[in-house]
Amino acid sequence: MEPNPISETIIKEGGSSRSSAKDVARLAGVSTATVSRVLNTPYQVEEKTQKLVRDAVKKLHYVPHGAARALRSARSQMIGAVIPSFDYALYARMTSAMQTALDAKGYSVVLAEHHYNLKSELRTTEQLIRHGVDAFIFVGLTHDAELFSMLQNYGRPYILTWGIDSTGHHPSIGFDSRSATFDLTRHLIDLGHKRFGLLSAMVNGNDRATDRGTGIRTALAQAGLKLSDDCVQYGSIDLASAKAMMHKILMLAPSHRPTAVMCTNDVFAVGAMTACREAGIKIPDDMSITGCDDTDLGATQTPPLTSIHTPITEVGLAAAEQIIARLEGQPYKQSQSFPYKVVLRASVCKPAY
Amino acid sequence: MEPNPISETIIKEGGSSRSSAKDVARLAGVSTATVSRVLNTPYQVEEKTQKLVRDAVKKLHYVPHGAARALRSARSQMIGAVIPSFDYALYARMTSAMQTALDAKGYSVVLAEHHYNLKSELRTTEQLIRHGVDAFIFVGLTHDAELFSMLQNYGRPYILTWGIDSTGHHPSIGFDSRSATFDLTRHLIDLGHKRFGLLSAMVNGNDRATDRGTGIRTALAQAGLKLSDDCVQYGSIDLASAKAMMHKILMLAPSHRPTAVMCTNDVFAVGAMTACREAGIKIPDDMSITGCDDTDLGATQTPPLTSIHTPITEVGLAAAEQIIARLEGQPYKQSQSFPYKVVLRASVCKPAY
DNA sequence: CTGTTAGCGCTTTCAA
DNA sequence: TTGAAAGCGCTAACAG
Query: Count of CB atoms within 10 A of residue A5's CB?
Result: 8
B33 touches strand D (CB under 7 A): yes
Query: For residues A27 and A59, what is the distance between their CA atoms, to the nearest angstrom?
Result: 9
What is the helix (H) or strand (E) element at residue A57, kind and residue range?
A: helix A47-60
Interacting residues of A287 by C-beta distance below 8 A, sequence separation 6+: A258, A259, A260, A261, A276, A281
Indicate if the pLDDT at residue B96 is higher than 90: yes
Same topology, domains A75-175+313-338 and A177-309? Answer is yes
| pTM as predicted | 0.90
The answer to whether strand C lies under 7 Å from the CB of residue B334 is no
CA-based nearest distance A145→chain B, Å = 15
pLDDT, residue A6, reads 31
* Average pLDDT rounded to a whole number, residues B176-185: 98
Domain ranges of chain B: 10-67, 75-175+313-338, 177-309
Give, in Å, how far the C1' of C1 lies from the CA of A33. Answer: 12
Q: How confident is the model at residue A17 (pLDDT cuts 50, 70, 90)?
A: low
pLDDT at residue B126 is higher than 60 = yes
Does the CB of A267 have a partner CB in chain B at under 8 Å? yes
Q: Which of residues 26-65 of A touch strand D (CB under 7 A)?
A: 32-33, 35-36, 39-40, 62, 64-65
Residue B10 in this model has a pLDDT that exceeds 90: no
Give CA angle at B272 (B268, B274), nearest 5°. Answer: 120
CB A83 within 8 A of CB A316: no
pLDDT band at A325 (very low <50, low <70, confident <90, very high): very high
Is B13 a residue whose pLDDT tops 80? no
Looking at residue A331, what is its pLDDT?
Answer: 87
A11 pLDDT tier (thresholds 50, 70, 90): very low
pLDDT tens figures, B252-267: 999 999 999 999 999 9
B200 contacts B213 by C-beta, under 8 angstroms? yes
Alpha-carbon distance A347 to A304, whole Å? 6
CATH fold for the domain made of A10-67: 434 Repressor (Amino-terminal Domain) (1.10.260)
Express the helix, strand and coil content of chain A in percent, nearest 5 each.
Answer: 50, 15, 35
pLDDT tens-digit series, residues B41-94: 899 999 999 999 999 999 888 888 888 988 888 788 899 999 999 989 999 999
Cross-chain residue pair B296–A152, CB shorter than 8 Å: no
Burial (Cβ within 10 Å: 0-12, 13-18, ≥19) of residue B4: exposed
Q: What is the rounded distance in angstroms from the CA atom of residue B340 to the CA atom of residue B177?
A: 8
* Residues B319-331 as b or e (16 or more Cβ within 10 Å = b): bbbbbbebbeeee
The answer to whether the CB of A152 falls within 8 A of the CB of A312 is no
Asked if residue B16 has pLDDT above 50, the reply is no
Protein-nucleic contacts, chain B 200-219 to strand C, CB < 7 Å? none
Highest averaged pLDDT of the listed ranges A96-110, B231-245, B324-338: B231-245
Q: CB of residue A256 closer than 7 A to nucleic acid strand D?
A: no
Give the pLDDT band (50/70/90) at residue B17.
low
pLDDT of residue B343: 98
CA distance B44 to chain A (A): 23
Measured CA to CA, the distance from residue B340 to residue B209 in angstroms comes to 16
A258-283 pLDDT per residue, tens? 999 999 999 999 999 999 999 999 99
pLDDT tens-digit map of A48-66: 999 999 999 998 888 888 8
Is the pLDDT reported for residue A4 higher than 70?
no
CA–centroid distance for A108 within its chain? 15
Do residues B306 and B347 touch, judged by C-beta distance below 8 A?
yes
> Which residues pair with residue B235 across a beta bridge?
B201
- Residue A168 pLDDT > 80: yes
* B129 pLDDT more than 70: yes
Nucleotides on strand C lying under 7 Å from protein C-beta: 1-5, 7-13
A240 touches chain B (CB under 8 A): no
Q: Which residue has the higher pLDDT, B19 or A317?
A: A317
The answer to whether residue A3 scores a pLDDT higher than 60 is no
Alpha-carbon distance of A222 to A215, in angstroms, equals 11
Residue type, A349: C
Mean pLDDT, rounded, of chain A: 91
Higher-scoring residue by pLDDT: A66, A299: A299
Of A111, A277, A300, the CB nearest to B111: A111
Protein fold of B177-309: Rossmann fold (3.40.50)
A215 has a pLDDT exceeding 70: yes
CATH superfamily of this structure's domain A75-175+313-338: Response regulator (3.40.50.2300)
Residue A22 Cα, gap to closest chain B Cα (Å): 16
Q: What is the CA radius of gyration of chain B?
A: 27
Residue A328's pLDDT band, with cuts at 50, 70 and 90, is: confident
Residue pair A308/A184 in contact (Cβ under 8 Å)? The answer is yes
Is B1 a residue whose pLDDT tops 70? no
Contact at CB, B103 and A85, closer than 8 angstroms: no
Chain A, nearest residue to B126 by Cα = A63
Is beta strand B135-139 parallel, antiparallel or unpaired with respect to B158-161?
parallel
Q: What is the tens place of the pLDDT at every residue in B275-316?
A: 999 999 999 999 999 999 999 999 999 999 999 999 999 999
- Yes or no: say if A163 and A206 are a contact pair by the CB < 8 Å rule: no
Q: Does B239 touch chain A (CB under 8 A)?
A: yes
| Residues A112, B81: Cα–Cα separation, whole Å | 12
Highest-pLDDT range among A148-152, A320-324, B329-333: A320-324
DSSP per residue, B188-220? HHHHT---EEEEEE--TT-HHHHHHHHHHHHHH
